[in-house]
A = this chain, B = another copy of it.
Amino acid sequence: MKIQLALDRMAIKEAISITKLVQDSVDWIEVGTSLIKEFGKNSISEIKRSFPNKMVVADIKTIDNAIYEFEMCFNAGADVATVMGVSPIVTIQACLQVAEKWNKKVMIDLLNTSDDQLATLSQFKSAIFCHHVSKDQQELDSSEKSGVRVFTDATPTIAVAGGITLQSIRDLASIRPSVIIIGSAITKANNPTQAAYEFKKTIIELEGQVNE
């Protein structure tokens, strides 16, 4: 299980400073949608330039204009870019084609996808599927929810996102996600370095249990 550090709602400089504090404990770095929409593609290129050896995920949340947006992300140095599962299928196919050309990856964000859409999407074996409880669902909706849904098909590469804490990460271990996306539980912690280290330690411990 890899840790993807999600950087959101901050300036690019702050994002780089925080990442420097925690880089030893995280695997992938996500340039959050809020950074891209606030500062543009420079947010991607500056973070990749600062951490050239990390996988950088551009959370561009494409829902149209796939070729233009994915070319932009990969040109800026992203290794993975995201497309919404609720997009027209032609958009998702175009993202996959651009990623294949660049030998990079597509993460499909399953936010608010229907069961029918999920079934259709499962044909895209090369994608990473991100089960996602959105920020608004976490912050503005008091009902209980879980981002994790079961594929009827063979298990693809899975990422999980949305308000993940040291407590909730233990419940996620059973579904064996490849990528665990953590944002404010690290970036807003009093001691981000320590918080990231605790996540890393917990994941190593959980992986040991799963492999036993």
Q: Which residues of A contact B (CB under 8 A)?
A: 8-9, 33-34, 36-43, 60-61, 63-66, 68-69, 72, 84, 86-88, 90-91, 93-94, 111-112, 114, 134-137, 140-141
Contacts and interface: CB of A to CB of B under 8 A. Distances in A.
Tell me the number of copies of this protein. 2
Contacts of A39: 40-41
Given A37-B40, A39-B40, A88-B112, A64 B134 contact: yes
A136 B64 CA distance: 6
Contact of A37 (B72, B86, B111, B140): B72
A41 B41 contact: no
Contact of A136 (B38, B40, B65, B137): B65
B90 A136 contact: yes
B36 A111 contact: no
